[in-house]
Amino acid sequence: MTIAGQNPIQITLVRLVNYAAFLVILFLMWAAAIRLFSIPPYLLPGPEAALEALYANAGTIWAAARFTIGCTLAGMAISVTVAIALALAFLLSDGLSRALMPLIIVIRTVPMIAIAPLIIVIFGRGPWNSIGMVALLTFFQIMLGAKKGFTSPTRNTLEMMHTCGAGFWQTLIKVRVPFAIPYIFTGLRIASGSALLCAMFAEWLSGAPGLGALILNAYSAGNFTLMWATTLCSTTAAYLFFTFTIALERFVLNRIG
């Protein structure tokens, strides 16, 4: 579908090299801008200061990153499971689909982050609110992808299965699931870019010990070098997350041919 025929390791490497090159250029421009306009460090610390802070606080940042990434993974796992189950339910029952789909389309116009405060009062201040937010945010994208995928086999294919005497479940496993995988991954890819940032958002509001809370704490403590270091770290994590999703997609698609 996307970059056919390449192997996942190659894609990952290319994307990582691109990102590293981008970071180097960004650092050079960043340092140059600070020298050129003589920006004081309280407005914008230099990249070397941010890297120093990254090194000095590696333990703290790593713990926070682990929390956030764990929540994101758990949230995505829940949302993929529920999304595929619901897409299957829609496939089984046309009435259910007609009853719920218009509502889902309306719900999709609501930005999920806006209801973050609700999730926080419901799930409390632990990891569960991050997990809930991620699941909620990624759910619709993946569900719509799966639904589209399950209905994507052509009529001819389905009729052939019918002629061969295949039942619903056989058709599902042999035809619909392989057809749906690229669509599910498309949904997953779109969702994965924002999933981590969304988890950070939940932490930012709830104060659960992840990257989002770390940025906010660094900001309120006036520790701007730590704030930049964490920002750098979270952007990198979001990028890696997206890259690994693409690599996984490639790996699976290569496997099923």
Partner 1 sequence: MSDGRGLLKAMLLPGATFVLFLILWQIAVEYGIAPITVASPSRIAATVIREWDILWFHMEPTLLTAIMGYLAAAVTALCLGFLVYSMRRIESSVLTVGAVLDSIPIIAVAPILIIWMGLSLSTRITITAVICLFPMLISVIQGLNTQPKNAQELFTVLAAGPVQKFRLLALPNALPYIFVGLKIAAPLAVLGALVAEWTGAEWGLGVFMINAMFGLRVDQLWSAVFLACAMSTGAYGLVCLFEYLSVEPGQNPDGGKS
Q: How far is the CB of 7 from partner 1 (least distance, A)?
A: 24
Residues 6+ apart with CB under 8 A from 48: 31
Candidates 153-161, 164-172, 179-187, 223-231; binding stretch for partner 1 (CB under 8 A): 223-231
1 HSE (CA, 13 A, CB side): 17
Query: Tokens 């270091």 correspond to what residue?
Result: 229
Decide if residue 99 touches partner 1 (CB under 8 A). yes
Question: Closer CB to partner 1, residue 44 or residue 166?
Answer: 44
Candidates 1-9, 118-126, 162-170, 171-179; binding stretch for partner 1 (CB under 8 A): 118-126
Q: How far is the CB of 70 from partner 1 (least distance, A)?
A: 17
Residue 136 and residue 112 in contact, taking contact as beta carbons nearer than 8 Å: yes
Q: How far is the CB of 162 from partner 1 (least distance, A)?
A: 28
3-state secondary structure at position 148: helix
Nearest-angstrom CA–CA distance, 154 and 131? 37
**Angle (nearest 5°) at CA 211 between 236 and 200:** 90
Nearest-angstrom CA–CA distance, 219 and 228? 9
Decide if residue 115 touches partner 1 (CB under 8 A). yes
Binding string to partner 1 for residues 177 to 216, with x set by CB under 8 A, is what?
----------------x---x--xx--xx------x--xx
List 106, 163, 169, 257, residue binding partner 1 (CB under 8 A): 106
List 32, 85, 98, 173, residue binding partner 1 (CB under 8 A): 98
Instruction: List phi, psi (to 5°) of 109.
Output: -80, -5
Decide if residue 111 touches partner 1 (CB under 8 A). yes
List 4, 5, 37, 110, residue binding partner 1 (CB under 8 A): 110
Query: Tokens 């997609």 correspond to what residue?
Result: 249
Binding string to partner 1 for residues 8 to 37, with x set by CB under 8 A, is what?
--------------x---------------
Decide if residue 219 touches partner 1 (CB under 8 A). yes
Amino acid sitting at position 186: T
Residue 240 and residue 12 in contact, taking contact as beta carbons nearer than 8 Å: no
Residues in the chain: 257
Q: Is 255 exposed, middle or buried (0-12, 13-18, 19+ CB in 10 A)?
A: exposed
Give residues in contact with partner 1 (CB under 8 A). 22, 42-44, 95, 98-103, 106, 109-111, 113-115, 117-118, 120-122, 193, 197, 200-201, 204-205, 212, 215-216, 219, 224, 227, 230-231, 234-235, 238-239, 242
